[in-house]
Amino acid sequence: QNNVNTFNQLMEANMVANKLAGLSDAELALMEKLLQKEFLEEADRHRTWKTKNLYEKPYQKSQNLARCITAIKSQRDLNKMMETRW
């Protein structure tokens, strides 16, 4: 059962990777820009929370946004590398 779940997760990850790889640089750049905007807004909300409540708010959303931005940048870099290679 556990192996089946792991296999399914790998297949889903592969499908997502293929979909990202199929996007144009303009589409990836748009996604990156939107994610960066949301990241900055979340960082501002975090600062406001910390000032108002005097303690750190969990920042899971910021971490998720940062990982998404990194994934988009990596995909754009890979696409550029593959373009120059051919």
Cα dist from 21 to 3, 24, 30, 68, whole Å: 27, 8, 15, 14
Q: What is the pLDDT of residues 25-77, one digit of tens each?
A: 999 999 999 999 999 999 888 888 888 887 777 778 889 999 999 999 999 99
H-helix or E-strand containing 20?
helix 2-21
Checking if the pLDDT of 8 tops 80, the result is: no
pLDDT band at 86 (very low <50, low <70, confident <90, very high): low
